A = this chain, B = another copy of it.
């Protein structure tokens, strides 16, 4: 079936699985080797060090979670209305497939902020130039709410979409919720969040 996958790839996938669950410090190279079904030395043979391997996983995860959304948010041809739908749906799709990514990324950055200062550093100004930012600003002026920071609504959409996935492990600890129930809950939110956001900005 998936037998012709290279050793190199097998290691990266195993690393990804364990890094995402346990984080960098909580992961042992021996666990990665075992998960990948390879000899421990092959990890260093292909990737030099645990750190190098981690950086690859980290960068791919960052890309996975950011690239599409930034492109969508920056698209100048889609309206604010459709854009909200698109972003919520994009995140929901990615997170249903990779529910651990947000907690992994945010946790690693909190544990090691210096390491990421340069890596993902975008200037404060550049962020405000993302097109959706201007769209919200314009709309807020139209409805006489120009005094409110447009960033609030971006955070609202993202937080309501992502948070259930961040809280998932705790929710499962507290409530013993089933995977299917969780999925249904998220599918409901996929449709509800855009409605809520629109009501907030009177769209």
Question: Interface SS of chain A: helix, strand, loop or mixed?
Answer: helix
Contacts of A119 in B (CB 8 A): 173
Give chain A interface residues in 113-132, CB to chain B under 8 Å: 113, 116-117, 119-124, 127
| CB contact under 8 A between A107 and B103, given known A156-B160, A159-B159, A174-B127 | yes
The one of B120, B167, B200 in contact with A106, judged by C-beta atoms closer than 8 angstroms, is B167
Q: Is the CB of B174 within 8 A of A122?
A: yes
Contact pattern, A 54-94, Cβ under 8 Å of B = 1, otherwise 0: 00000000000000000000000000000000000000000
A110–B164 Cα gap in the complex (Å)?
13
Q: Is the CB of B26 within 8 A of A111?
A: yes
CB distance from A42 to the nearest CB of B (A): 24
Q: Is the CB of B23 within 8 A of A113?
A: no
Q: Is the CB of A173 within 8 A of B120?
A: yes
The one of B113, B122, B149, B158 in contact with A185, judged by C-beta atoms closer than 8 angstroms, is B149
Contacts of A141 in B (CB 8 A): none
Q: Is the CB of B156 within 8 A of A196?
A: yes
Q: Is A96 an interface residue (CB 8 A)?
A: no
Q: Is A175 an interface residue (CB 8 A)?
A: yes
Q: Is A41 an interface residue (CB 8 A)?
A: no
CB distance from A46 to the nearest CB of B (A): 24
The one of B151, B158, B163 in contact with A155, judged by C-beta atoms closer than 8 angstroms, is B163
Contacts of A164 in B (CB 8 A): 155, 159
What 7 pairs between A and B have smallest CB-CB spacing? A159-B163, A25-B26, A25-B25, A107-B107, A110-B169, A109-B169, A116-B173
13 examples of A-B residue contacts, CB within 8 angstroms: A23-B26, A23-B107, A23-B111, A100-B110, A105-B170, A107-B107, A113-B172, A122-B175, A123-B175, A148-B188, A159-B160, A196-B196, A196-B200
